[in-house]
C-alpha cells in the first residue's frame, strides 16, 4: 500500500506541475532496462561480497549457514528488501528527482537528492546523538544516493538505481545477515579486531569502491540522452 500511495502522489505531482505521467520515470520494462537492472545488481552484489571477504580474511572470522533459515524466510526477506528499496527509490529517485533535474539541472538535482538521502538515513537508522556515526552514515549513503540519482539521470529509468540499491541491500541483509532482519542465511562467528590499516582498507572498500565502479559503468552507458556532459 505504501508503494501504491507513493506512485499515486508521484503521478499527481507530475501531472499538476508538468502535465506528465509516470512514464517519465522509466518504469515500463524493456530488454535494455532489464539489462541495466541485472548488471547493477551484479556489480553491487559482487562488491558487497568482496567487502565481507576482506573483513573475514582480516579478522580471521568465519561464517556458518543458518540451519533454521527456510525457503519461506528467504522469500520473505528478499521481498522485504526489495520493497524497502522500491520505497526509497520512488521517494528519492522518482518524481522529486525528475522535477529537481528539470528545474535545477543534472548536477544540482542529483546533489540535492543525495543530501536528502543521507539525512533520511539519520532518521531511519536512529543515528541522532552519535555525531561520528551521523557523519559516517551521511558520507556513505550520500555518496551512494548521488550515484543512484546519476544512474537515473543517465538512463532516464529507475531500473539501474534499483538494481544497484537492491544488489547491495540483498547481499548485506539477506546473505550476510547485517541488516535489521537479524540472522538470515549466513551467521558470523567473529574473530580478531582489525588493525588500523585493515580498518582503513575496509572503510575505503565499503564506502567508495561501489560508487567508483558504478560511476565508471554509468559513464560508459549510452543513455537516452548524453546528459552527463552538460
Furthest C-alpha separation in the chain: 58
For 78, counting Cβ atoms within 10 Å of its Cβ (0-12 exposed, 13-18 middle, 19+ buried), the class is: middle
Average pLDDT value for residue range 137-147: 96
Q: H-type helices in the chain, by residue range? A: 2-18, 31-59, 71-92, 95-104, 106-124, 131-155, 159-169, 196-204, 210-219
Number of domains in the chain: 1
- 226, pLDDT greater than 60: no
With respect to residue 13, please indicate whether it lies within any of the assigned structural domains.
no
Q: What is the per-residue pLDDT across 162-211, written as a single tens digit (0 to 9) for each? A: 999 999 999 999 999 999 999 999 999 877 777 889 889 999 999 999 99
Supply the pLDDT for residue 227: 39
Looking at residues 68-77, what average pLDDT do you find? 96
Of all residues in the chain, what percent carry a pLDDT higher than 90?
85
Q: Is the pLDDT of residue 123 over 80?
A: yes
Is 49 a domain residue?
yes
| Residue 8, domain member (yes or no) | no
pLDDT(2) > 90: no
Give the DSSP letter of residue 156: T
Residue 143 lies in a domain: yes
The cell for 116 is 536528502
The answer to whether residue 69 sits within a structural domain is yes
Cell numbers representing residue 176 in the block:
550476510
CA angle 229, 32, 210 (to 5 degrees): 60
pLDDT higher than threshold 90 for residue 228: no
The boundaries of the domain holding residue 74 are: 27-219
Tell me if 18 is assigned to some domain: no
Amino acid at each position: 500500500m505504501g508503494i501504491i500511495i507513493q506512485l499515486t502522489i508521484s503521478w499527481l505531482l507530475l501531472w499538476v506541475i508538468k502535465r506528465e505521467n509516470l512514464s517519465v520515470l522509466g518504469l515500463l520494462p524493456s530488454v535494455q532496462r532489464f539489462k541495466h537492472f541485472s548488471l547493477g545488481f551484479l556489480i553491487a552484489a559482487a562488491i558487497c561480497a568482496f567487502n565481507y571477504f576482506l573483513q573475514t580474511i582480516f579478522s580471521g572470522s568465519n561464517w556458518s549457514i543458518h540451519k533454521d533459515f527456510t525457503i519461506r524466510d528467504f522469500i520473505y526477506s528478499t521481498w522485504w528488501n526489495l520493497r524497502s528499496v522500491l520505497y526509497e527509490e520512488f521517494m528519492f529517485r522518482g518524481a522529486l528527482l525528475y522535477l529537481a533535474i528539470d528545474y535545477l539541472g543534472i548536477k544540482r538535482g542529483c546533489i540535492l537528492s543525495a543530501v536528502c538521502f543521507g539525512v533520511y538515513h539519520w532518521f531511519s537508522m536512529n543515528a541522532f546523538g552519535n555525531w561520528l556515526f551521523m557523519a559516517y552514515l551521511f558520507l556513505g549513503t550520500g555518496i551512494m544516493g548521488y550515484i543512484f540519482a546519476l544512474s537515473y539521470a543517465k538512463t532516464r529509468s529507475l531500473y539501474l538505481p534499483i538494481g544497484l540499491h537492491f544488489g547491495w541491500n540483498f547481499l548485506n541483509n539477506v546473505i550476510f545477515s547485517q541488516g535489521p532482519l537479524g540472522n538470515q542465511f549466513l551467521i558470523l562467528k567473529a574473530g580478531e579486531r582489525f588493525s588500523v590499516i585493515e580498518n582503513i582498507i575496509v572503510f575505503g572498500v565499503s564506502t567508495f569502491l561501489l560508487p567508483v565502479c558504478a560511476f565508471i559503468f554509468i559513464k560508459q552507458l549510452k543513455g537516452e540522452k548524453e546528459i552527463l556532459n552538460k
